[in-house]
Structure 1
Amino acid sequence: MANIREIAKLSGVSKATVSRILNHDKTFSVSDSTRKRVFRISSQLNYTLSNTSNKDSVEKLHVAIVNCLSPEQELRDPYFSMIKNGIDEQAEIWGMKIALEIRLPNTGHDWSELATCGAVIVIGTLMESVLDKIYQHNQNIIIINDPRHFEKYDIIRNDFGYQTQQVLDLMKAKGHKRIAFIGGKTNLIDESSVSQILLMDNREKAYLEWMKLNNFSEFTDPHITKGWTTEEALSVTQDILAEEKQPTAILTASDPQAIGVYRAVQKAGYQIPDDIAIVSFDDINMVSYLYPALTTVRPAAQEMGREAINLVRERVVDSRKVALQVTVNSILIKRESL
């Protein structure tokens, strides 16, 4: 049940102001717009002065998360950890509570619990059948990090496709055309299993399109690993270096993969970037220990999480029904590996 503190946060005024407005204090001077905003938000949150309501009513300031990553995967990947941090921080600012988290694939969860929350944030790539099931219980759905288009759901995504093109343009400007790409697979997640259906990562897609548009098709060399690990990237790079015609540049989809590439390239006696240039995505803390320093794309992952809560607020407070697609821009951090 909403309280005065929560209404105050969402209205952008003090608790005392909310209290005096809701109690129709005639001695209190406040603008008509503020008064109307407080009444509108309190009404939308089903607030009453007695602070009682039907026990089965939806708690609009409660948020549910449906997460496609295990706790271990989330801890290993700073990108998703930062998204969760952003969600938590912004939820606290707006007086919202993460009341429920369902991790998939899993069995035994009760989808009807989602109906008790104001909105559902999905992190990752779910089968459409699962999204439909969530929608049956809660129509306020915000999806983070899914490249697909949906008409009913809000989508928050990064700009990795655009950044891939920018990086490749820089490589071309430095004379590179024999450019290899190392990425990973993205599986759709079902309720109880990891589907065999794959989504092409935006970085891989942008790489293939860019190589074709720049008439470098004969040099196109993508390598997609089962996971996104350092060990897999190291093994793949060793295979690449064993080829008769080696690339002069390697673009990796993540910094952990770039670390594997560094190990393989330097172990083989090649110099970075003189022999092989390397660029990556993530800008995790560990890359500061690489030599030479890694050029990488830093995503605004925490901002993606914050924006998810902002979209939740628009849904539950402003009653927005039209679905939005939000792209959060990243930053290319230029260092010595290119």
Structure 2
Amino acid sequence: MVTLKEIAAAVGVSSATVSRVLNYDTTLSISNRKRQAIIETAEKLNYATPRNRNRANVQGLTKLALVHFLRPEQELVDPYYVALRLGIESRCAALKIETVKVYHTDAKPDAGMLQSASGVIAIGRHDEDEIEWLQRHAKQLVFADHAPPDDQIDSVQADLRLAMEKLLQSLANLGYRRIAYIGWGDRRAQAFVQWMTKAGWFDDRMFRSGDNTEQGGYRLTKEIFSEKRPPDAIITFNDSMAIGAYRAIHEMGLTIPGDVGVASFNDISVAQFLNPPLTTVHLPAEEIGEGAVELLLERVGGRELAKQITLASKLVWRGSTRQPPEK
């Protein structure tokens, strides 16, 4: 566990100063810059004050069941969901909360596992039957990366619809018109169809659904480029699919972004090392996980009014598309 001494050494102050800042001592005389450095360093090192470490136990959250909509092998090929889960687990570790992972299978998990936990965080999109089952067996329930159509259920997610709209508008401003989409039919896909239809540019031959893996990106990109009028830009569901799209484009002897631009979602670490580096939408995976834990803490602590939190995304421009003018 990270200590006050380690934080103090990183910032260049005393351990006593770190302790007083992290415990909100308003009598301490310290510059705002130094105070902010202490807080940011503590957060970066996943430090929790004794007050916060005890908060979970005091409120009755000692064990959390983490129910994933993916199978283990599916999660491993999508670093976004790994980061989201790690956000949950690191926050729980700091608060001394035990976690139990439950991955998707063909059968529902053991209800007793959920009932023995103080609360449940469900990751990703579950169908209506699964949501009803989770509500029936969980003492407290929060969704991460999905908001069920029920205003009594807590959730935290990124605004994928707005993110897609921002990305499309930015690509349009750069002169792209024949834009393709490959990936699952979720909120970003729905936003793509609606925005492109409103702009008068939608072509159903440029909209393909399939599994969100590198191989899926490769196959769907090949399919789209078999059309007589290929796209001038491709948006992929995630960065893993973009890697597959890169491979297909290079095999066809085309260049990125000279012949076709490529943009994606998630901003996983490998995105910046592709050739060329990938333009992508940064989604706050770890923050979604951390936020879900905080919502669960509030529920266990007695909050009755449901909260549905939406976090912001950010466009990260790199060399796989034309570049916007500098502001």
**Do they fold alike, i.e. is TM over 0.5?**
yes
Q: Would you say 1:112 and 2:112 are equivalent positions?
A: yes
Amino acid in the other structure paired with 1:136: R
Q: Determine which of 186, 191, 198 is the counterpart of 1:206.
A: 191
Compute the displacement of 1:222 (Å).
Answer: 0.6
Q: Which residue in 1 is equivalent to 2:44?
A: none
Aligned residue runs from structure 1 range 286-301, under 5 A:
286-301=270-285
CA contact (8 A) 1:145 1:156 kept: yes
Compute the displacement of 1:337 (Å).
Answer: 1.1
Q: Which residue in 1 is equivalent to 2:171?
A: 171
Matched residue of 1:117: which SS? Answer: coil
Q: Greater Rg, structure 1 or structure 2? A: 1
Q: Which residue in 1 is equivalent to 2:128?
A: 128
The CA distance in 2 between the partners of 1:254 and 1:42, in whole Å, is 34
Q: Deviations over 1:196-224 (max 9, x none)?
A: xxxx3111111001101212235772110
The CA distance in 2 between the partners of 1:159 and 1:80, in whole Å, is 16
Matched residue of 1:60: which SS? Answer: coil
Compute the displacement of 1:259 (Å).
Answer: 1.2
CA contact (8 A) 1:179 1:220 kept: no
Residues 109 and 284 of structure 1: is their aligned pair in 2 closer, same or farther, counting only changes over 3 Å?
closer
Compute the displacement of 1:137 (Å).
Answer: 2.8
The CA RMSD over aligned residues, in Å, is 2.5
Residues 263 and 152 of structure 1: is their aligned pair in 2 closer, same or farther, counting only changes over 3 Å?
same
Q: Deviations over 1:227-273 (max 9, x none)?
A: 11222221221222222111111111111111111122222222211
Aligned residue runs from structure 1 range 188-337, under 5 A:
200-218=185-203, 221-225=206-210, 227-317=211-301, 319-337=302-320
Matched residue of 1:63: which SS? Answer: strand
Q: Which residue in 2 is equivalent to 1:22?
A: none
Residues 215 and 66 of structure 1: is their aligned pair in 2 closer, same or farther, counting only changes over 3 Å?
same
Q: Which residue in 1 is equivalent to 2:26?
A: none
CA contact (8 A) 1:211 1:220 kept: no
Aligned residue runs from structure 1 range 39-50, under 5 A:
45=59
Residues 138 and 273 of structure 1: is their aligned pair in 2 closer, same or farther, counting only changes over 3 Å?
same
Residues 206 and 107 of structure 1: is their aligned pair in 2 closer, same or farther, counting only changes over 3 Å?
closer
Q: Would you say 1:93 and 2:77 are equivalent positions?
A: no
Unaligned runs of 5+ in 1: 1-11, 14-36, 46-58, 185-199
The CA distance in 2 between the partners of 1:309 and 1:258, in whole Å, is 31
Q: Which residue in 2 is equivalent to 1:50?
A: none
Report the identity percentage: 30
The CA distance in 1 between the partners of 2:159 and 2:176, in whole Å, is 23
Compute the displacement of 1:87 (Å).
Answer: 0.6
The CA distance in 1 between the partners of 2:56 and 2:287, in whole Å, is 28
Residues 315 and 108 of structure 1: is their aligned pair in 2 closer, same or farther, counting only changes over 3 Å?
closer
The CA distance in 1 between the partners of 2:57 and 2:68, in whole Å, is 31
Residues 244 and 106 of structure 1: is their aligned pair in 2 closer, same or farther, counting only changes over 3 Å?
closer
Residues 108 and 309 of structure 1: is their aligned pair in 2 closer, same or farther, counting only changes over 3 Å?
closer
TM-score, scaled relative to structure 2:
0.76
The CA distance in 2 between the partners of 1:264 and 1:236, in whole Å, is 9
Unaligned runs of 5+ in 2: 1-21, 24-50, 322-327
Q: Deviations over 1:137-160 (max 9, x none)?
A: 334110112253223311111122
